[in-house]
């Protein structure tokens, strides 16, 4: 039986709301990892990864090909700062695996720059 278009719109809105809630929870759990590799003197003197990430609020998510990208924003002094985390869509149902992937990604990036 075919659904009405209005029913599909309602279903999409419900699904989008739930996806946003889940993606926001993942972003909040792991946003500090975006700053984990910062070792420059000014950063180390002023912040920790957790304090640097604290003002960022989840903004949106994107799913492209086999990647999920979560975006956060922080508005301060007329500037809009953006932070993003990216991981394979295959991990989306396992928050622990997402954390492990992001930590491994950070370690690989730190080896390249360190």
Which pTM value belongs to this model? 0.86
Q: How many domains does the chain have?
A: 1
The mean pLDDT values, 10 residues at a time, for the chain of 114 residues are 88 95 97 87 90 96 96 95 96 95 84 63
85, 102 contact by CB (below 8 A): yes
Which residues span the domain enclosing 60?
Answer: 5-113
106, 37 contact by CB (below 8 A): yes
């Amino acid at each position: 039986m075919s659904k009405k278009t209005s029913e599909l719109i309602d279903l999409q809105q419900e699904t989008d709301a739930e996806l946003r809630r889940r993606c926001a929870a993942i972003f909040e759990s792991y946003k500090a990892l975006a700053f984990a590799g910062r070792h420059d003197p000014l950063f180390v003197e002023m912040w920790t990864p957790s304090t640097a990430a604290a003002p960022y609020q989840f903004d949106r998510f994107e799913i492209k090909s086999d990647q999920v990208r979560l975006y956060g924003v922080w508005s301060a002094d007329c500037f809009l700062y953006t932070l993003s985390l990216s991981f394979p869509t295959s991990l989306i149902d396992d928050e622990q695996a997402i954390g492990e992937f992001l930590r491994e990604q950070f370690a690989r990036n730190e080896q390249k720059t360190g």
